[in-house]
Amino acid sequence: MENVRIPLAEKMRPRVFDEFVGQQHIVGKNTLLYRAINYGVLGSCIFYGPPGTGKTTLANIIANSLKANYVKLNAVTSGVSDAKSVIEKARIDKAMLGIDTFLILDECHRWNKAQSDCVLEAIEDGSIFFIGTTT
């Protein structure tokens, strides 16, 4: 078996809400976000804040909590073709399996207008749910 070295930060990353520390005004048990996730009605959203505050971790926890597929892209290294590929698979998964897909886009402020426009229709028609993170 291959010895895989996983960075400590990734090993320690919370995977469920109970492991998430801080930001209780956003993810606490009586908050709007927490209730929306528990009832399965959370739509697309954007999280912003300084680096290291848990934006990406929170997006991952949300997708896991909703038993949805999720695809992570980084706006610096992805483009229109990457987004179109995610959307195409999301539409198939939704139609054939009834499974939602969350597109988690780190550093979403770095996408240009053409890149942003390519996901707009899929967000509006419910093919994907979008979670953007930005500073």
What are the pLDDT digits (tens) for 75-97?
999 999 999 999 999 999 999 99
Start-end of H helices in 15-79: 24-27, 32-38, 55-65
Q: What is the arithmetic mean of pLDDT over 117-130? A: 95
CB within 8 Å of 34: residues ≥ 6 apart: 17, 27, 28
**Residue 1 pLDDT class (50, 70, 90 cuts):** low
Q: What is the pTM of this model?
A: 0.86
Q: What is the arithmetic mean of pLDDT over 110-129? A: 94
pLDDT per residue as tens digits for the range 44-61 = 999 999 988 889 899 988
Per-residue pLDDT for 111 more than 70? yes
